[in-house]
Amino acid sequence: MSTVDWLTILFDSMEDYLPSICDNSNSVNQFITILDHAVSVAHHYSLKGNKEEVIKASDMFEIIGENCDDCAMYEHSLENYNRSLQLRSQQLGRLNVKTATALDNIGLLYTKTAKYENAIEYHNEAIDIFQKTQGILDKDTAIAYNNLGLALIKKGNYKEPLKWYRRCLYIERKLYKHDNIDIAADHNNIGEVYIKRGEYNRALKHLYKALLIKFRNVGLNNPNTAITLMNLGSTYWRMKELNKAKKYTGKSLRIYKSTYGNIHSSTSLACNNYASILADMGRKKEAKEYYAQSLEFGKQVHGLYHPEIALTLLNIGKLYIEDNDIDSSLPYLFSAYKIYSLTVDKDHEDFLRTANQLKIIYLKINKKTNFQTWLKENTNDMVENLAQPCFKKSPDKEK
């Protein structure tokens, strides 16, 4: 059998082998095994196929991009999304639902990689296309509204996202039954906005609605459910109900580790959140271990310049302050400040917390230079020069 014949067989059957979503260890392993083959087959038909085959190749690139996204392989994801977008723009035109889907997925990826302005631009273009081609009461339009809200809240805008999330919920209530998994995502996201705004009882109301729907649809041990568990943990942490916070955050961490392993953005963030709870419970030694783990995993996924890296650096700096070790805290706080200054809005809550912490230290040590000059002098090249935390050993599992 010729190479072309084998490629034809693979092309016809590859979509059956590609997981629709990587949400458990089996689907992740299945995808990783066939990733290179799938890309090769899609690439061949994107160059050699007829129009129908080229469009199908674009669909394969889109699925590959989604699976890479699930597995936190963000560079691979962007590469495949862009291939899909290019093919769809060429074959179908810009004003097309499939083209808009590619734009929306790229926007979502830019949110995860902290390129928020790019994300907002892509989501707005996707929304414009969906509204013109599908109308307002459409599932794709609703998803794009949701994704724009996510980009805005991650950037530090806590006013506008609620509008987009509510629009999404309104549409999906018209389209689906009340216990649909997409409606659960809407409640989860609305709950996250209320967390950021300090309205914790409202947050809990929506988060528990989301958790119940997710439990009925995908069960408890699913990374989709883990998103809401972690938000519940975050809410209870802010409410100083630390035992509940530890319970929900610990459960989310176990789910992420069992599904994706250590080198994943969700695992890294859950480690950070779990460490913060332990720190507030007075278990500082364990907290330091989880912060070190979060930083190690997060850097491998995101690199240095990402808000989630800055959050862990901020928290490590705060631990040193609690130990009255200002000198050791400053490199972490300066690094967090620099990363936030380059990635989020100036009124982002964590950026403001970092700036406030540095201002308190500045006033205590009576620097002669003004505050902004002091910051500028100490943030040049700070992130690149930052050493690993001195607390190195990471735990295998939470206590």
Whether 394 has a pLDDT exceeding 60, the answer reads no
Q: Is residue 246 part of a domain?
A: no
Query: Residue 386: pLDDT band by 50, 70, 90 thresholds?
Result: low
Q: How far apart are CA 185 and CA 187, in angstroms?
A: 5
Q: Is residue 320 part of a domain?
A: yes
In 53-150, beta strands by DSSP E: none
Amino acid occupying residue 63: I
Q: Is residue 63 part of a domain?
A: no
- Structure confidence at residue 11 (pLDDT): 63
Q: Is residue 256 part of a domain?
A: no
Overall average pLDDT of the 131-150 stretch: 96
Residue closest to 67 by CA, chosen among 19, 101, 15, 111: 19
Whether 396 has a pLDDT exceeding 70, the answer reads no
Q: Is residue 305 part of a domain?
A: yes
pLDDT digits over 82-128, tens only?
999 999 999 999 999 999 999 999 999 999 999 999 999 999 999 99
- Structure confidence at residue 201 (pLDDT): 98
Residue closest to 106 by CA, chosen among 89, 131, 90: 89
Tell me which residue has tokens 């992740």: 28
pLDDT digits over 145-166, tens only?
999 999 999 999 998 999 999 9
Q: Is residue 39 part of a domain?
A: no
Average pLDDT across the chain, whole number: 91
Question: Which CATH number belongs to the domain containing residue 361 in this structure?
Answer: 1.25.40.10
- Counting the structural domains of the chain, the total is 1
Domain holding 338, by residue range, is 295-399
Query: Residue 12: pLDDT band by 50, 70, 90 thresholds?
Result: low
Q: Is residue 87 part of a domain?
A: no
Q: Is residue 355 part of a domain?
A: yes
**Which pTM does this prediction carry?**
0.86
DSSP string covering 22-60, please?
--SHHHHHHHHHHHHHHHHHHHHHHHHS-HHHHHHHHHH
pLDDT digits over 188-246, tens only?
999 999 999 999 999 999 999 999 999 999 999 999 999 999 999 999 999 999 999 99
